[in-house]
Chains A and B, each alone.
Chain A
Amino acid sequence: MNDLAKSARVVRALGARSIRQTFRRPQLLAPIVVFPTLLLAIQTGGAGASIELPGFPPVQSFLQFMLAGSMMQSMMLAGNSGGIAFAVDIEMGFTDRLFAAPIPRFAIVLGRLAGTAALGLFASLWFLAIGLIFGAHIEGGVPGALLAILLVTASALAVGGIGAAIALRTGSASVVQGLFPLVLVVLFLSSAFFPQELMIEPAKTIAQYNPLSFIVEGVREPIISGIDATQTLEAVAAIAGIVVLGLVLSSRALKHRLRVG
Chain B
Amino acid sequence: MEAVMGEAPGEAPGEAPASPAGWRTNLATIGALMARAKNELVRVPGAAIPGVLAPTIFFLGLNGVFGALTQLQGFETGSYESFIVPVSMLQGAGFTGAAAGVNLARDYEQGWVDRLLVSPAPRWVLLAGNVLAASARSLIPATFVLGIAFAIGAEWPGLDGLVICYLMVAATAAAAACWGSMLALHFKSQSAAPLMQAGTMALILFTPAYAPLALLQPWLEKVANVNPLTNVLEAARQGFVGSVTWADTWPGLVALAGLLALLGSLALREMRRTNV
Q: Which A residues are closer than 8 A to B by beta carbons?
A: 26-27, 30-31, 34-35, 38-39, 41-50, 52-54, 178, 180-181, 184-185, 187-189, 193-194, 198-200, 202-204
Contacts and interface: CB of A to CB of B under 8 A. Distances in A.
Q: Which bucket holds chain B's interface residue count? A: 35 or more
A172 B193 CA distance: 20
B61 A185 contact: yes
Interface of B: 50, 53-54, 57-58, 60-69, 71-72, 80, 191, 193-194, 198, 201-202, 205-206, 208-211, 215-217, 219-220, 223
Contact of A203 (B50, B65, B191): B65
Contacts of A45: 206, 216-217, 219-220, 223
Nearest to B80: A200
A44 B210 CA distance: 10
Given A49-B72, A53-B71, A181-B54, A188 B202 contact: no
Contacts of B219: 45
B217 A199 contact: no
Q: Which of B64, B71, B215 has the most CB of A within 10 A?
A: B64
A245 B211 CA distance: 39
B198 A53 contact: no
Q: Which of B68, B202, B216, B220 has the most CB of A within 10 A?
A: B68
B94 to A, nearest CB: 13
A181 B53 contact: yes
B229 to A, nearest CB: 13
Contacts of B71: 53-54
A164 to B, nearest CB: 23
B57 A38 contact: no
B61 A198 contact: no
Contacts of A202: 64
Given A49-B72, A50-B66, A42 B217 contact: no
